[in-house]
Structure 1
Amino acid sequence: MTELVVKWACEYCTYENWPSAIKCTMCRAQRPSAGAIITEEPFKSTPALDPAGLSNSPTQGSSALLICPDSSARPRVRSADMPEMSSKWSCHMCTYLNWPRAIRCTQCLCNRQHSQQHASQQGRQQARSPTESPQTSGSGCRPVPSSTVTDPCEEYNDRNRLNTHAQQWTCTACTYENLSKALKCVVCDHPRPNHSPLAEPIQLASEPECQQPPSKFIDADIGSRRSIGGVAGGQGGVSGSVGGCSTSQRRSPPSSKRESEVNMDYQRIEVASGAGVRSKEELEVDYKKLKQIKNRMRRTDWLFLNACVGVVEGDLAAVETYKTSGGDIARQLSSDEVHLLNRPSAFDVGFTLVHLAIRFQRQDMLAVLLTEVTQQAAKCIPAMVCPELTEQIRREVAASLHQRKGDFTCYFLTDLVTFTLPADIEDLPPAVQEKLFDEVLDRDVQKELEEESPIINWSLELGTRLDSRLYALWNRTAGDCLLDSVLQATWGIYDKDSVLRKTLHDSLHDCSHWFYTRWKEWESWYSQSFGLHFSLREEQWQEDWAFILSLASQPGSSLEQTHIFVLAHILRRPIIVYGVKYYKSFRGETLGFTRFQGVYLPLLWEQNFCWKSPIALGYTRGHFSALVAMENDGFDNRGAGANLNTDDDVTVTFLPLVDSDRKLLHIHFLSAQEMGNEEQQEKLLRSWLDCCVTDGGVLVALQKSSRRRNHPLVTQMVEKWLDGYRQIRACAALSDGEEEDDDDDE
């Protein structure tokens, strides 16, 4: 028996490939795992065997051809009048061997030349029997002309090719072509547009030039093929139109179409890269490299690139999306990513998000990114350890908010609560204390306020002898840091439910006239005092005030000095802000005044309605932090002969009212009658605060807090938080005891 040659059929173009080929020789498609196997006998004299072992005797003088079909390849049945393989015609464009009845190339859709059609017709006439009549015997109709008959194999191939290329949609984020059934992009998880039609891919040489949606084109094209093949009774010639697009346009030589498409891609790359002297070959290589880079990209990579573009364009949402997805803030741009972004003036290899924020002076993003990068230790504050108690405290805060009746209908808190660190921290071992401070304090803020610029703890007298050292609690980096720091300095929790923000907005809205008058008068005086001699129209003042009102109603938006002034009225107590005086870039360049440092008094309330014990906040680089003290024993005589009349349960913290240069802190939002020299302002401070002068001559305000007067839920929350570090101390002591026992045994 003669040895058989086993071939496999491509499932896209049905080209018969040799067994050693792993890709289709014609269309470069991957070989199917269980593709159609074609068994061809090299000699005509010996019959072929089918897979079942049955003999199949073909017509004498023709090569035997058997196909084993599977799910990816359809069976082919040779008709009795089908010419031999040798009578196929070769396409003059791609040299593909087409069936004799094909009027155009199956692979590239190029029209068949007239000479080839004429030779094929002569070959078919010679293949017929000389005695055969032009009309088939036994039939009452004329045979269909060969020029209007399409091989069913060709119809299947064309329909399969169009279905493969057309039923795709292009992702608007990464331009990846997804299958029609995909609801999200398989590369970057970008959702598919809801109401947009399937995006038509770049038309290759074998794709039609019709401008209507691909799905409609496929249906119309199939119907046209059926009518051409005689299904519709022989109606519809070759030159008929299909769905509004003439077949003559679709069957035009594809070389010009392919060249125009490629040239258009070259122009895009050339314009984007700014290289006007690059050759066509170099642009083609660059285009292929971009496609390879995109195919390797993952969802995290796309989010990182979106964050980089967001820093350049000022889109903080893209940076937050990358952070919340678990992305690395310290990640550096690779050469492929810089090549894909294609903006040499903005992106460089090795740049991180911080570098980009520095280059484009995104100060708000720097505050977020730098805090994230330097946050090495996991934070553990009391509000995180006790979620049940934290929720109860939030309900207590909401219940203690009331609205004042009368003309000035501002909201206010009924409870006076001041958060302090427990004195039991000093009883812990030094290693445990260091761990506690790492987890509860913001070391970067503490360093900036203490070392880089002496803003807090600059007086040894206050920090050492009077035990009034201030600690910067760790705070979230979102836009609600001011509200969070206020609640941390009082109740030790965050404004997670935006209760304080809503109260701030309602107070500003209901008492808009009162606060607007103070704000306008203060802003006019401030601009004139700094030599900015300008005056605004009333419409401009109203627009600026409307912007301040809108900031209070938007969660996550940054707040201004006016909002601190309103918060002082809600708390019914003064707020002292210790902050940097200048906005500075990452390089240390001064960009402007911050205007946050100073004292905010509840000037619109009656003095007997307010408390004189203030709270302290710290401000650094667009971020607020709560400044709290540690509990200490009360002393009767602290300061320059001031009798405080305190008991042993009261903690007194001395907050300086002057800066390190002994200049009085500014009092914000004073009226024209309240403004005056430094002596008048000091007198005003003494009327709203419990003030005294220390032995060193420092004017200070007294912040008083008591365990018995403090809220029991806050005390319980702090004790539960501290128990975790006490257990660490006990475990450390137990391990030390076991080591001593081992030494004794030895």
Structure 2
Amino acid sequence: MTERGIKWACEYCTYENWPSAVKCTMCRAQRPNTTIITEDPFKSSPSDIGRDWSPAGIGSGNSPLICPDSSARPRVKSSYSSENATKWSCHMCTYLNWPRAIRCTQCLCQRRTRSPTESPQSSGSGLRPVPPPVDPCEEYNDRNRLITRAQHWTCSICTYGNWPKARKCAVCDHPRPNSFEAIELAGAEEASSIINEQDRARWSRSCGSSNSQRRSPPTSKHEFEKKMDFQRIELAASGVSCKDEREVDFKKLKQIKNRMKKIDWLFLNACIGVVEEDLTAVEAYKSAGGDIARQLTADEVRLLNRPSAFDVGYTLVHLAIRFQRQDMLAVLLTEVSQQAAKSIPAMVCLELTEQIRREIAASLHQRKGDFACHFLSDLVTFTLPADIEDLPPTVQEKLFDELLDRDVQKELEEESPVINWSLELGTRLDSRLYALWNRTAGDCLLDSVLQATWGIYDKDSVLRKALHDSLHDCSHWFYTRWKEWESWYSQSFGLHFSLREEQWQEDWAFILSLASQPGASLEQTHIFVLAHILRRPIIVYGVKYYKSFRGEALGYTRFQGVYLPLLWEQSFCWKSPIALGYTRGHFSALVAMENDGFDNRGAGANLNTDDDVTVTFLPLVDSERKLLHIHFLNAQEIGNEEQQEKLLREWMDCCVTEGGVLVAMQKSSRRRNHPLVTQMVEKWLDRYRQIRPCVSLSDGEDEDDDDE
């Protein structure tokens, strides 16, 4: 025999390869180490033709074929001569298949059973054909598919089949339902019962008498999958039920899922979060830039598959009202009220905003010594440019709609007069405060502090990290002030309660944990620490009571007042404060507009300032002329109002107006302000200067029409 005649057959596709081939030319399978066959690898002795396969034949001397799916599957003896002579033609594609195949290799169509009167294709003997033997490989395929399918768990949102060990859906990140263990057990029991039936049928066919009547061959793989039905299981986590495969068009659902993006999955999770009272899912959708007013479509309702809860056209607000989620409704309504596109300087000038964030991170330092608190080395105060007044009234209105939070401004001015209640301060002294629009996430306090100073958000959590580190590094100092202040505050309201040291420590640990969690709401203690980081006072003008949606007072807010950096030396701090507004769980930055100094103000003080300095008078009393509270004073500093007023004058530049209002002076200068902030504001203002000619032209045309 020549070298050309020695070939080896692939054990997967039975293709005859040349002896020099390392891999199969057809399926690229690795060449076996011992399988080297002759030109006619499937040739066997005449006595072997037509012999039925049995488990005992595995150890015979004939060359077996190993099933490619698993090494544990039975080996099937081949008889090439008889099979090649009795191939059957597919009635769909006319492909000639091997007689052992129960479906077409080309189109997977089921093989038709010949009638008793039909003769074999290649034999003219007229004998009735023997039904094709059952391929044991198909039974093993069905076994493995059934076991794997029973162990998979189906996502309640996108219906994707996930592996048993997956904790979240691989497509939409929805958590695995708690009832998966029960689902897995039920599926395993059903799989084991079907597998046992298959085993009994297979062994009865292989070990039964040759004269006994053979059972009909099992259904094909395609029909087997059609008969597999998904169980109806109520998922406890989301309340969504998986429908039977026959009732749902999975092809349509797959097309819907393929078209969906990440923001779409976040929206569906937010809808489920409203139903299940999970605020984190709603916050995740908001932080990704999702539209709160977005409505559910028919395809999304079909994916959610819960008509009792979701309907076409529903928004997150509708769901919050339907399921009475009052806390979520407060956050969602605040978002929906801001339907106008916001255009604040931090959003318009992204490159400058990133540079300012890096500048803030570089200006943060830590004080050496016992009181190792972090602090900012730069004094920056954000004010609105005076050039806004040079714009036409229509452009000014558009600018303020996109810059300010109209709801916060109205609540602080009208519903409860907290700011701009003095005509003397707002008109003659030109110290009107404007509430900047702010995000409604849990970082609104940190965002408002940076807006009042640098005009940007705390997007990278630089200020939150400094807050967390300062609280931990100086925990003893802040804890002593906090404990003494809380004890005095409770006694002043007649509560007369005392806590054990363990309870004080637990409350303090909770305050520390809030500082380390991005998105967590902050308290008065955190404002006190922020005053030390800024090295300047913080004045909070806030509503006095928590109110329900019916307008009922639920309790005191305790946020309004003055926060002084009392743990620093006075010489180390600046006396120019910043102002914040507090309304219904939300903080906003209160800023003023640039003015021309003190020329015609007549404030009761002799002030030597430059012409380029802007001074804003911040009232230290409320609308009833009562002094604002100073937070976190110790027993020696509390005293009466005269002592507190003296303390305010020591930490801030204060004066009394002609109307008798005690005010603190907030000073800012263009020349001493940070150049990046000035450049950001100018670039933002140029957007409104460009639309000025169009408005002027239209106004001029209207005037000409009036003259005619």
- Whether TM exceeds 0.5 here: the answer is yes
The amino acid of 1:390's aligned partner reads: T
Check 1:348–1:584 CA distance in 2 against 1; reply closer, same or farther (3 A cut). farther
The amino acid of 2:278's aligned partner reads: D
The amino acid of 1:517's aligned partner reads: T
The alignment status of 1:415 with 2:378, answered yes or no, reads yes
RMSD of aligned Cα (Å): 5.0
| Mapping 1:246-285, distance limit 5 Å | none
User: Of 488, 509, 520, which aligns to 2:451?
Assistant: 488
The alignment status of 1:660 with 2:623, answered yes or no, reads yes
How far the C-alpha of 1:70 sits from its partner, in A, is 6.4
The alignment status of 1:76 with 2:112, answered yes or no, reads yes
The alignment status of 1:516 with 2:479, answered yes or no, reads yes
Maintained 8 Å contact 1:408/1:511: yes
Residue number in structure 2 paired with 1:670: 633
Structure 1 SS opposite 2:450: helix
Maintained 8 Å contact 1:600/1:668: yes
Structure 2 SS opposite 1:654: strand
Residue number in structure 2 paired with 1:228: 204
The alignment status of 1:171 with 2:135, answered yes or no, reads no
Check 1:741–1:672 CA distance in 2 against 1; reply closer, same or farther (3 A cut). closer
Q: TM-score, normalised by structure 2?
A: 0.69
How far the C-alpha of 1:150 sits from its partner, in A, is 8.7
Structure 2 SS opposite 1:311: helix
Q: What is the CA deviation profile of residues 612-660 of structure 1, one whole-angstrom value per residue up to 9, with x for unaligned ones?
A: 1100001111111110000000114635531122221111101111111
Residue number in structure 1 paired with 2:542: 579
How far the C-alpha of 1:438 sits from its partner, in A, is 1.1
Structure 2 SS opposite 1:229: helix
Structure 2 SS opposite 1:376: coil
Maintained 8 Å contact 1:227/1:234: no
**C-alpha separation between the residues in 1 aligned to 2:473 and 2:649?**
30
Residue number in structure 1 paired with 2:683: 720
The alignment status of 1:498 with 2:461, answered yes or no, reads yes
Maintained 8 Å contact 2:162/2:169: no
Maintained 8 Å contact 1:333/1:349: yes
**C-alpha separation between the residues in 1 aligned to 2:148 and 2:245?**
25
**C-alpha separation between the residues in 2 aligned to 1:373 and 1:575?**
30
Residue number in structure 1 paired with 2:7: none
Residue number in structure 2 paired with 1:447: 410
Check 1:213–1:394 CA distance in 2 against 1; reply closer, same or farther (3 A cut). farther
**C-alpha separation between the residues in 2 aligned to 1:732 and 1:356?**
42
Check 1:336–1:710 CA distance in 2 against 1; reply closer, same or farther (3 A cut). closer
**C-alpha separation between the residues in 2 aligned to 1:736 and 1:648?**
35
Check 1:521–1:333 CA distance in 2 against 1; reply closer, same or farther (3 A cut). farther
Residue number in structure 1 paired with 2:222: none
The alignment status of 1:311 with 2:347, answered yes or no, reads no
**C-alpha separation between the residues in 1 aligned to 2:289 and 2:364?**
37
Q: What is the CA deviation profile of residues 163-199 of structure 1, one whole-angstrom value per residue up to 9, with x for unaligned ones?
A: 8877644414249475999x99899785899xx9997
Structure 1, 449-458 or 368-377: larger mean CA deviation: 368-377
How far the C-alpha of 1:719 sits from its partner, in A, is 0.9
Q: TM-score, normalised by structure 1?
A: 0.66
**C-alpha separation between the residues in 2 aligned to 1:293 and 1:593?**
55
The alignment status of 1:457 with 2:446, answered yes or no, reads no
| Mapping 1:69-148, distance limit 5 Å | 71-76=107-112, 78=114
Q: What is the CA deviation profile of residues 92-121 of structure 1, one whole-angstrom value per residue up to 9, with x for unaligned ones?
A: xxxxxxxxxxxxxxxxxxxxxxxxxxxxxx
Check 1:361–1:588 CA distance in 2 against 1; reply closer, same or farther (3 A cut). farther
**C-alpha separation between the residues in 1 aligned to 2:656 and 2:481?**
30
Q: Which runs of 5+ in 1 are unaligned?
A: 1-48, 55-66, 84-128, 137-148, 239-246, 248-257, 274-283
Residue number in structure 1 paired with 2:563: 600
How far the C-alpha of 1:600 sits from its partner, in A, is 0.2
Q: What is the CA deviation profile of residues 315-339 of structure 1, one whole-angstrom value per residue up to 9, with x for unaligned ones?
A: 1122234444745536489998999
**C-alpha separation between the residues in 1 aligned to 2:365 and 2:657?**
38
Number of equivalenced pairs: 576
Residue number in structure 1 paired with 2:36: none
User: Of 372, 376, 399, which aligns to 2:335?
Assistant: 372
Check 1:468–1:50 CA distance in 2 against 1; reply closer, same or farther (3 A cut). closer
User: Of 293, 298, 301, which aligns to 1:329?
Assistant: 293
| Mapping 1:535-550, distance limit 5 Å | 535-550=498-513
Maintained 8 Å contact 1:657/1:665: yes
Structure 2 SS opposite 1:673: helix
Check 1:500–1:322 CA distance in 2 against 1; reply closer, same or farther (3 A cut). closer
Q: What is the CA deviation profile of residues 202-228 of structure 1, one whole-angstrom value per residue up to 9, with x for unaligned ones?
A: 88xxxx9645498xx3xx766654433
How far the C-alpha of 1:233 sits from its partner, in A, is 7.8
Residue number in structure 1 paired with 2:573: 610
Structure 2 SS opposite 1:684: helix
**C-alpha separation between the residues in 2 aligned to 1:289 and 1:226?**
29
The alignment status of 1:429 with 2:392, answered yes or no, reads yes
Maintained 8 Å contact 2:155/2:161: no
How far the C-alpha of 1:293 sits from its partner, in A, is 11
| Mapping 1:614-629, distance limit 5 Å | 614-629=577-592
**C-alpha separation between the residues in 1 aligned to 2:466 and 2:170?**
45
Check 1:192–1:413 CA distance in 2 against 1; reply closer, same or farther (3 A cut). closer
Q: What is the CA deviation profile of residues 694-740 of structure 1, one whole-angstrom value per residue up to 9, with x for unaligned ones?
A: 11111111111111111111111111111111111134345667899
**C-alpha separation between the residues in 1 aligned to 2:476 and 2:647?**
24
Q: What is the CA deviation profile of residues 677-697 of structure 1, one whole-angstrom value per residue up to 9, with x for unaligned ones?
A: 222211111111111111111
The amino acid of 2:110's aligned partner reads: R
Residue number in structure 2 paired with 1:590: 553
**C-alpha separation between the residues in 2 aligned to 1:417 and 1:180?**
54
Maintained 8 Å contact 1:578/1:618: yes
User: Of 696, 708, 714, which aligns to 2:659?
Assistant: 696
Maintained 8 Å contact 2:365/2:376: yes
Structure 1 SS opposite 2:514: helix
**C-alpha separation between the residues in 1 aligned to 2:538 and 2:333?**
27
**C-alpha separation between the residues in 1 aligned to 2:338 and 2:440?**
11
Residue number in structure 2 paired with 1:107: none
The amino acid of 2:467's aligned partner reads: L
Maintained 8 Å contact 1:332/1:350: yes
The amino acid of 1:600's aligned partner reads: Y
The amino acid of 1:228's aligned partner reads: S
Maintained 8 Å contact 2:90/2:111: no
**C-alpha separation between the residues in 1 aligned to 2:471 and 2:105?**
78
**C-alpha separation between the residues in 1 aligned to 2:182 and 2:106?**
30
**C-alpha separation between the residues in 2 aligned to 1:626 and 1:175?**
42
Check 1:393–1:158 CA distance in 2 against 1; reply closer, same or farther (3 A cut). closer
**C-alpha separation between the residues in 2 aligned to 1:395 and 1:430?**
36
The alignment status of 1:686 with 2:669, answered yes or no, reads no
How far the C-alpha of 1:368 sits from its partner, in A, is 2.8
How far the C-alpha of 1:396 sits from its partner, in A, is 1.7
**C-alpha separation between the residues in 1 aligned to 2:303 and 2:484?**
51
Residue number in structure 2 paired with 1:507: 470
Q: What is the CA deviation profile of residues 121-157 of structure 1, one whole-angstrom value per residue up to 9, with x for unaligned ones?
A: xxxxxxxx9xx9xxx9xxxxxxxxxxxx997589999
Check 1:741–1:177 CA distance in 2 against 1; reply closer, same or farther (3 A cut). closer
Maintained 8 Å contact 2:292/2:332: no
Check 1:170–1:522 CA distance in 2 against 1; reply closer, same or farther (3 A cut). same
Residue number in structure 1 paired with 2:16: none
The amino acid of 1:443's aligned partner reads: R
How far the C-alpha of 1:445 sits from its partner, in A, is 1.1
How far the C-alpha of 1:594 sits from its partner, in A, is 1.0
Structure 1 SS opposite 2:691: helix
Residue number in structure 2 paired with 1:41: none
Maintained 8 Å contact 1:333/1:352: no
How far the C-alpha of 1:292 sits from its partner, in A, is 6.0
**C-alpha separation between the residues in 2 aligned to 1:313 and 1:551?**
24
How far the C-alpha of 1:72 sits from its partner, in A, is 3.5
